[in-house]
Amino acid sequence: MHHGLIEGKTVDRITALLQKAHLPVQAPREMNYDAFIKHMMRDKKVLSGQLRLVLPTAIGQAQVVADIPYQRLADVIDAG
């Protein structure tokens, strides 16, 4: 929703499905931006030092996004 790729009602539905499956829908409180980036940069989707994220666009659909500014990531992570 923060990147404008998915509707709010779809986010709500995905959240409800994850909760029903007893899966986490919130990040650990002790993780801050620096901790997230440290772990995210180890991901296999990082290509030539550029972080790429797989973001949902609908139920069962996703898009690889590589052009997210780090400040935008920080804002989303800080929003929790």
Q: What is the tens place of the pLDDT at every residue in 21-35?
A: 999 998 888 888 889
**What domains does the chain contain, in order, with CATH numbers?**
8-79 (1.20.1090.10)
| Predicted model pTM | 0.71
Distance CA 6, CA 35 (A): 26
Read off the pLDDT of residues 26-74 as tens digits, 9 standing for 90 and up: 888 888 888 989 999 999 989 888 999 998 999 999 999 888 888 888 8
Distance CA 26, CA 15 (A): 10
User: Strand locations in the chain, DSSP E?
Assistant: 53-58, 61-65
> Nearest Cα to 37, choosing from 11, 4, 79, 73?
73
∠ CA(4), CA(45), CA(68), 5° rounding? 30
H helices of 21-63, in order, are 33-40
